[in-house]
Copies of this chain bind each other. A is one copy, B any other.
């Protein structure tokens, strides 16, 4: 289904190709490929001095085209948040895919075990009961699945809560057919929200130091960690320099947004949402791009051309700004918004309007969009 859906999306938005980025039907999601390429290059350059390799998180972009660009730029594969994202990426030819999350529920586990027949899939586990379900499913599907033990390094979400629990799980994994232990994942997500850079370094280092202890204890028990996966865009320059970490799960670096832009320098905004001024009274202007087209998580979006205005609010279909004489926008004009948060923005749209030199050159479908399986299950 995903291939026919991809074709369908391309056709739906094909009339945008060849247009200037300011002349699109709004709200429109725009990917400036020139800027995204510069972000790729900057990340490649930065990582060249670090030991860790990049495994970009595709929950941010949900695009096989972007994933391929990331792999061409040196990424060792990708990571995903869901089994459906992982299946889409494997089918698109990405050779090494990590589901950096627990997979639960009978059918999602079965889909994962089925997809594992083609190899190239790793999943995070943090509980013996979940590992047992995965093992049973691989037996039924006749497949083998690589696993990382997720270790809670302070975020308090996924991950075993102690060294002892990590050891218990490693021993259990060794007993379970169909599963192969490859290492650990420790995601220091609690550090991403720390705006103070010195404090972020301190927190991220503490998280990785604890992960190092777990790795040592696992090694002492005979479980060597070939893979140590962690990090995000907000900590890539800290965690990427940690001597234990082998791969970084940064994803937002390719787009940047108002949230991440405040955390790490050197990247530019490649993702925007174009809106049209549909309301104008006095100093108030309203664009037709609200919470149903642009992610406002953590930080509000802003206008690219007028970054100094703080939005009054984002309604479902409205972005409201109180402006002054510095703003020349008139009713019917279009303006680009920088999202507050890119992953939730992308998730709302059918496709990227891919722009080079300010002109739309391609339509890249966003797949899998939405929380459902979107028909992927029916194709297995």
A53 within 8 A of B: no
A239 within 8 A of B: no
Q: Which of B13, B127, B344 contacts A292 (CB 8 A)?
A: B344
A326-380: which residues lie under 8 A (CB-CB) from chain B? 331-332, 334, 343-344, 347-351, 369-375, 377-378
Copies in the complex: 2
CA distance A350 to B368 in the complex (A): 11
Binds B, one of A40-48, A156-164, A211-219, A240-248: A156-164
Q: Which of B11, B127, B279, B349 contacts A157 (CB 8 A)?
A: B279
Binds B, one of A31-39, A139-147, A264-272, A316-324: A316-324
Q: Which of B103, B106, B280, B378 contacts A15 (CB 8 A)?
A: B378
Which residues of chain B are within 8 angstroms of A344 by Cβ–Cβ distance?
291-292, 316
A1-55: which residues lie under 8 A (CB-CB) from chain B? 1, 8, 11-13, 15, 25-29
Q: Which of B156, B279, B293 contacts A126 (CB 8 A)?
A: B279
A171 within 8 A of B: no
A90 within 8 A of B: no
Interface centre among A129, A161, A279, A318 (most CB of B within 10 A): A279
Binds B, one of A63-71, A175-183, A222-230, A281-289: A281-289
CA distance A82 to B105 in the complex (A): 37
Which residues of chain B are within 8 angstroms of A349 by Cβ–Cβ distance?
370-372
CA distance A102 to B278 in the complex (A): 6
- A sample of 20 inter-chain contacts (CB < 8 A) reads A8-B375, A12-B374, A12-B375, A25-B107, A59-B317, A102-B286, A104-B331, A105-B332, A108-B276, A126-B279, A129-B332, A152-B281, A157-B279, A157-B315, A157-B320, A291-B344, A293-B371, A349-B372, A350-B372, A369-B370
